[in-house]
Amino acid sequence: MFIESRRNFLKGTAATIAGAAVAKGVFSTIVEVPAMADETTFTNTPKTLQFYPPLEEWDDFKELDGDDWKRGGINRKGVQSADNPDGIKVNDYIIVPTVCSNCEAGCGLTAWVDKKSLVVKKYMGNPLHSASRGRNCAKGYGTWSQMYDPDRVPFPLKRAPGSKRGEGKWVRVTWDDAMKDIGKKLADMLRRGDEISKKMFIYHVGRPNENGFGNRIPHTLGVDGYDSHTNICSAGARQGSIQWANDDRNSPDWANAKLIFLQSSHAADAGHYFQQSAGLIADARKRGAKMVVIDPRLSNSAGMADLWIPAWPGTEAALYLYLANRILNEKGKNGEDLVDHEFVKNWINWKKLMKDKEYLKLMVNRGYISKMPEDDSYESFISMLRELYSPYTLEFVVKECRLEGQEYKLEQLFDMVIDAEDKIATYLWRAGTIGHRGGWMNTRSGFLVLALRGALRGDVGGTSWHHWHKASVNGKWFDATVSNGKKPEKVDVWNEYPWPPEYPLATYELSYILPHLLMDEEWKRKWKAKGFKIPDRLAVWVPRMYNPVWINPDGFRWIECLKREDLMELTFNLSPTWSETNWYCDYVLPTGLAGERHDQQSEPSKPEKWVAFRQPALRVALEKMGWKPKDPTKATLEAHMKAGLGEVWEEIEFWANLIVRYVDPDGSLGIKKYWASKEDPSRPITIPEFYQAAFSLLPNLKKAAEAAYPNSKYPCYEFMRDRGAFTEETNIYKPQEEEVKFDGEYYYSHGHKYHKSEVTKDDEGVLWIDSHGHKKSIGVEIDGKIYQGFHTPDKRLDFFVDWMKEYQWAEYAIPIYPRNKREREEMIHLVTHVHHDYMKGENEFALNTIYRLPYMIHTRSVNSKHLMEISVNHNPVWIHTSDAKRLGIKRGDKIRVRIVDTVSGLESGYFVGMAVPTEATRPGVLACSHHAGRWKLKNAVEIPGFEHKLGVMGVGAPLYEMSMDGKIGKMRAKEGIDKGVKKRKDSWQFKEINKDLDNIWWDGLTGAWQNAVAPVHPDPIAGNHAWHQKVIIEKAKPGDKFGDVYVNYENNFKTYKAWRDKLTRPLNENIKYRRPMHMPRPAVPLSEKAYLNPMYKGNKEV
């Protein structure tokens, strides 16, 4: 209609429209606004969308204030300046790179330090970090609210003289006071110098997030005193990796894989290298990769996977051996074998097995195979495997994994495995492997599938091993000390507390049974009688950012032990936050979070070697602005005090000061030289000295640093200080195929050269040399070429682990899994303690406890209001809808979850949780993460002489009341987080940042402290705690409250003994070493003398 009736305005009305010049006039000319004239860099229409300014601008970067922008933006207000005070505020930043510390991934961060206020205004990612690629998960950004937690520990605290541990009475001390006291205690212990005294110190490390520093504290002290947290974390998985490759863990190339093979939700959903892996997995899936998730729980990853297989927890090994069976016994579409013979023949240690007739006989005797192989050939080996794994049929696996009705999924899984060829990336970790007795066999059998398909070759898209994809440099710091690069001698004692004689093959320290061992006089007597020298107590126990009371099983046992000053004489926690454990320590020494400390971190999150540098952002910013510390060896502490963060320190400076100034000031103990500066031997080493030495270990980094800072005294330090991350090497594929150079006279391997006369070759092609009386392999010859090979002594991947025989576990030296009920009873060590065999009654379940809540992984993040708001400490008990219906349980019902042990038959007690019926867990299996249930016994503590009360975990832990009598422990919630915070919402610390505390709405009352109820379950071989539980559920009794905990920890002590005494095969007089010599203890290097088993008959001659 418009077109038809068009008028001609420009001609017909031309003479008459002049009067209509009525425009509103809404445009103004930019150049006429004086306030904008010198601020033309600011625009609301950037040419590109970049989160990060270029590196050259990091020391001086101005950015409009996001909050202030809300007043109207620069279009309306212009930019703030002297001429335009009403303009939008501009922040004047120094951007300091650092590294996240809220999980193990080590993603890059940048701290945006406001030069005027010396406050970190925000944490962002670091675009120079090649694995995290400028991205972070919520935990990275949460660093900011952790830093300015209203309840930060503002200065060192000491248990009030005259009070008992756990009474909650504290006094303020200086760092020097604390170091004086601790230094004297340590010095007294070390001065004794006998074997016993070298076992009386334990440094107990939570998530370390550094490479090679912490273990060197006991090492330089000359003691065997390191406890990692690994045996409650991932040691089951590592056992399988160590058996296959003598490597701590595998390392997948997610980004280039065709199949993302996940057991549990790890990698894509919550943990081990979560954020980095998730991004790489997303990249792969975008290119068409498939993803399978094997997990009883429909995790976020499983929900978006191509295939979810909810196998009964702990039976995954059966599933993998089913796949192995089909790979071995079926043919491809064109009739070809599905086994990658080229890889298996060259790189699997089959020859060793085929030569070991005694072992083959054992296999026949146990019914693994029906007869001896015809000969030693590869073909006979493959024939034997075909028979060995033929019982793992579809029918078997469906029954064992309880996958009735889901047979079609197993077909799909097999097709996916075959279609992916050798591009299968996996990270067999945590849930299946640490949840169960025998969980390590998951890794053994899972990697068999990958090995048969050639995916363990470590080529593009496949799976390799971690040490090739990681760069650890801290050990190099001795170059900058008086020791002039000389490392401490190996320690010549073996501490039975981390490594009891029952667990010679344990992957890591038995740290979680430390209180049990310390309180087990019978155990001490037994081994002392056999010649072991076991101290009755510890002189010093030092948890480092660790909270075993809360996160370890059997928490009441920990409290009981910590209270005993006769068992732990001095305890101090180097901790950035209050914690349940701190409550029972003698000292709480506040150390830094992600942006408040120095650490070097590198992780195998992709096939390259990247290193990242965690730094105290305020210190770096202050130093760049010209500030100088009074004492350069305490610069981090002084900087934090100067910037108003509190007396927050860091470990490197702490330990260096403690040892040089208080433990060994005159050097007579021989320790000072490892911590005193080469530049000035009278003082401890400084951070620039330390990291100049450490980072110079990496040749590419050194070259780049020297080019970028040609006139610097500490170019490597400054290079990393300014960038925060560097990638030393990329595209590291098939590293085992790197050749060993031979020039006709010498072999060159790993930086050493060996004359041909020193080198012998065995009939498996392995090249050996003599190293201090021991044979050491340096390479392997395959088809005429000499390769570096894998990390095992035979340089191949070990299908057959011969040393298992010596340590009395011969029947498990190959990937195997019981095939029927009788075998499950005989081979109990491989059978999960929550196997469906053990579930008899209709209200008996397996409880899946170990899935991470991606916002609340470690104890240190309890103080982030932002992370707590996401998690709210709410942690219901998932129950399948069919089970809930059968038991008459509805959503929100209170239920008692009673934990029952299937070895001792004893009941541990119960916790009261909230039931949530869902189809996101499989029938028969409950789910309730153990990463929740924080508590405190006081909302705040008074410090004599200090004007403010110190709040305790105000944003993340409800107030509980507790009772314990040595046998029974009880907990009941008294007050939720919201109510506790409201009482003191006008927090004195970091007021401006915490003015929103009255917005806290979560009470945190539905996440029970289930770890307290859980008894310890030490795996008899891997030594890890097997986390899952058999539980009996029932509706709550009248008067029960959410969060109630009732524990019979006397029963739990009996359960610890039952697992130890019924299941292990301890050292005996026929075993020479306490552990295979080629499997070094992971933290402190020990001498051969330390390795010797005092019971061994022949040891007197050594």
Partner 1 sequence: MSITEQRSSLYSLVSRIFIQEMDEHTLSKIEKIDNFKELFPNYFEWDKRQTLSRYKLINEILNVDFTDIAIMHLIPYETFYTREDAMIETGGANPVVQIYNDYGYRVDLDRARVVSPDHIGVELEFMKILIDAQKKAEEDNDIEAVKQLKEEQKRFLEDHLLAFAPLYFINVAEQARTPFYKDAAKLALEFLLEDYEYLNK
Binding site for partner 1 (CB under 8 A): 2-3, 5-10, 12-31, 33, 43-46, 72, 75-76
Rg of the chain, C-alpha, whole Å: 31
* Shortest distance in whole angstroms from residue 304 CB to partner 1: 23
Determine whether 1085 is exposed, middle or buried from the number of CB atoms within 10 Å of its CB (0-12, 13-18, 19+). Answer: middle
Q: How far apart are CA 815 and CA 817, in angstroms?
A: 7
Q: Which is nearer to partner 1, 75 or 484 (CB)?
A: 75
* Shortest distance in whole angstroms from residue 127 CB to partner 1: 21
* Shortest distance in whole angstroms from residue 4 CB to partner 1: 10
In order, the DSSP letters of 56-114 are GGTTSEEEE-HHHHTTTHHHHH-B-SSS-TTSBPEEEEEEEEEE--SSSS--EEEEEEE
* Shortest distance in whole angstroms from residue 5 CB to partner 1: 8
* Shortest distance in whole angstroms from residue 69 CB to partner 1: 10
Q: What angle do CA 93, 99, 102 make, to 5 degrees?
A: 120
Q: Which is nearer to partner 1, 28 or 711 (CB)?
A: 28
Q: Which is nearer to partner 1, 25 or 710 (CB)?
A: 25
* Shortest distance in whole angstroms from residue 78 CB to partner 1: 10
Determine whether 287 is exposed, middle or buried from the number of CB atoms within 10 Å of its CB (0-12, 13-18, 19+). Answer: exposed
CB atoms within 10 A of CB 781: 18
884's tokens: 């809930």
Which residues touch 781 (CB under 8 Å, ≥6 apart)?
Answer: 761, 765, 766, 767, 787
Q: Which is nearer to partner 1, 40 or 377 (CB)?
A: 40
Q: How far apart are CA 899 and CA 987, in angstroms?
A: 40
Host H or E run for residue 451? helix 440-452
CB atoms within 10 A of CB 302: 24
Q: What is the DSSP letter of 312?
A: P
Does residue 769 contact residue 763 with C-beta atoms inside 8 Å?
Answer: no
* Shortest distance in whole angstroms from residue 86 CB to partner 1: 13
Q: Which is nearer to partner 1, 52 or 988 (CB)?
A: 52
* Shortest distance in whole angstroms from residue 72 CB to partner 1: 8
In order, the DSSP letters of 588-617 are EEEB--TTSS-EEE---SSSSEEEEEE--H
Q: Which is nearer to partner 1, 27 or 408 (CB)?
A: 27
Sheet holding 108-114, edge to edge: 61-64, 90-99, 108-114, 119-125
Q: Which is nearer to partner 1, 79 or 971 (CB)?
A: 79
Q: How far apart are CA 783 and CA 346, in angstroms?
A: 9
Please give the single-letter amino acid code of residue 649.
W
* Shortest distance in whole angstroms from residue 80 CB to partner 1: 17
Q: Which is nearer to partner 1, 74 or 514 (CB)?
A: 74
Q: Which is nearer to partner 1, 28 or 757 (CB)?
A: 28
Q: Which is nearer to partner 1, 2 or 408 (CB)?
A: 2
* Shortest distance in whole angstroms from residue 77 CB to partner 1: 10
Distance set, CA 104 to CA 502, 597, 601, 602, 921 (Å): 30, 16, 9, 10, 27
3-state secondary structure of 729: strand
* Shortest distance in whole angstroms from residue 15 CB to partner 1: 6
Q: Which is nearer to partner 1, 19 or 161 (CB)?
A: 19
Q: Which is nearer to partner 1, 14 or 372 (CB)?
A: 14
CA dihedral over 784, 790, 795, 800, signed as positive or negative = negative
Size of the chain, expressed as the number of residues it contains = 1102
Q: Which is nearer to partner 1, 47 or 116 (CB)?
A: 47
Q: Which is nearer to partner 1, 53 or 535 (CB)?
A: 53
CB atoms within 10 A of CB 665: 15
Q: Considering only CA atoms, which of 21, 42, 19, 48 is closest in space to residue 30?
A: 42
* Shortest distance in whole angstroms from residue 47 CB to partner 1: 9
* Shortest distance in whole angstroms from residue 89 CB to partner 1: 18
* Shortest distance in whole angstroms from residue 67 CB to partner 1: 16
Phi then psi for 757, rounded to 5 degrees?
Answer: -70, -20
Instruction: Spell 811-845 as b/e; 16+ CB within 10 A means b.
Output: bbbbbbbbbeeebbeebbbbbbbbbbebbeeebbb
Which residues touch 759 (CB under 8 Å, ≥6 apart)?
Answer: 747, 767, 768, 769, 778
